[in-house]
Amino acid sequence: MPTTRVSSEAIGDVAGDAQVAPGGDAPPAGGFPEEALDRYRAELFAHCYRMTGSVHDAEDLVQETYLRAWRSFHTYEARSSLRTWLHRIATNVCLTALASRQRRPLPSGLGAEPADPRGELTTDGEVPWLEPVPDARVGAGPGAGDPAGVVAARESVRLAFVAALQHLPPRQRAVLLLRDVLAWRAAEVADLLGTSVAAVNSALQRARGQIEQLAATPEETREPESAELRALLDRYVSAFERYDVGGMVELFTADAVWEMPPFTGWYRGGEAITTLIAGNCPAQAAGDMRMVPTSANGQPAFGLYMRGADGVHRAFQLQVLDLAATADGVRVGHVVAFFDPGLFDRFGLPEALAD
């Protein structure tokens, strides 16, 4: 949905020099508070991203949110906080957009059984695939705020959670996010959606049930902060850079999942994953691949670079990892390898590496 991009300077030129009231969210009468653009942009972007599964769509929808807020600011009566008012607008903007858009799945969400790792790879460019998001864009990066807030932000944008959200009808998706992520009261959600509290509670129960079936719970995931977790990631990088396919097997859980949009197949288990890599990866020897760490969706991620015939390592795929605790220690439980070199710029990664 193309929209006009609005900067704080542009709104300031039209709306005047309004200031947010000291000590609170409610602005004085007379103009749209320019500070709100920066104060709430990250969390509004995160909300729109969870709703749509698309970084590009979320950017456009945040712009549309501010346009609508600016145009209707004269109706704002401070009965709720400015933050709540903006989230109301953003939710309505997302629901309007989603009425005419397809959901954004991962390959494992297409309904097929795990693919044969020796079979032919098939792509589908017509599917609007789920997109990864840099931690810094959603308030989940280092220095983004208090530690508890950062952990909460990471959990609310984990790739498995956002992928599971895409299976919910848009209004049910909104109910779950408003109640469980933003901690709105049922009455507030009912007022926004023009329905009853009973209907909101029923939708929330159904949404929670489906999410539990599709996405890992926080207790099933681990953050890469301990020495053990860092050591696992070091071994993972080393196995790829040395092209040690055999050594990769023990790094995955028994039921690990590997998927790589826009390829439609997905693969389960370390043996299947390494068979897939051995049969399809362009690398032939140690040094053909190099990995640069980053973070996406509150999870460890790596930009993988492949050496070409000219000896230059160029952007090849962006891997987002989910780690799991097992009886044998921490292992890699899920990898989504996005075959879209255009993502590297979004994550601040170069197109090629200097040797």
Least confident of 132-146, 167-181, 317-331: 132-146
- Residue pair 325/249 in contact by the 8 Å Cβ criterion: no
pLDDT class for 152, splitting at 50, 70, 90?
Answer: confident
Percent of the chain with pLDDT over 70: 84
pLDDT at 287: 97
Q: For residues 167 and 209, give the distance between their C-alpha atoms in angstroms, rounded to a whole number.
A: 12
Closest CA to 178 of 207, 141, 221, 137: 207
Least confident of 71-80, 193-202, 323-332: 71-80
The pLDDT tens digits of the residues spanning 69-100 come to 888 887 777 677 888 999 999 999 999 999 99
pLDDT class for 141, splitting at 50, 70, 90?
Answer: low
Matching residue, tokens 């949404």: 207
Matching residue, tokens 């590297």: 344
The pLDDT tens digits of the residues spanning 217-254 come to 544 454 545 788 999 999 999 999 999 999 999 999 99
Q: For residues 243 and 290, give the distance between their C-alpha atoms in angstroms, rounded to a whole number.
A: 10
- What does DSSP say about strands 289-296 and 299-307: parallel, antiparallel, or unpaired? antiparallel
DSSP string, 194-208: TS-HHHHHHHHHHHH
- Residue pair 235/245 in contact by the 8 Å Cβ criterion: no
Assess whether pLDDT exceeds 80 at residue 25. no
Residues pairing with 317 in the sheet: 304
Assess whether pLDDT exceeds 50 at residue 16. no
- Residue pair 177/189 in contact by the 8 Å Cβ criterion: no
pLDDT class for 20, splitting at 50, 70, 90?
Answer: very low
Least confident of 30-34, 46-50, 287-291: 30-34
Mean pLDDT over all residues of the chain?
86
Rg of the chain's alpha carbons, rounded to an integer? 22
pLDDT at 89: 95
Matching residue, tokens 């850079």: 241
Matching residue, tokens 């609170």: 24
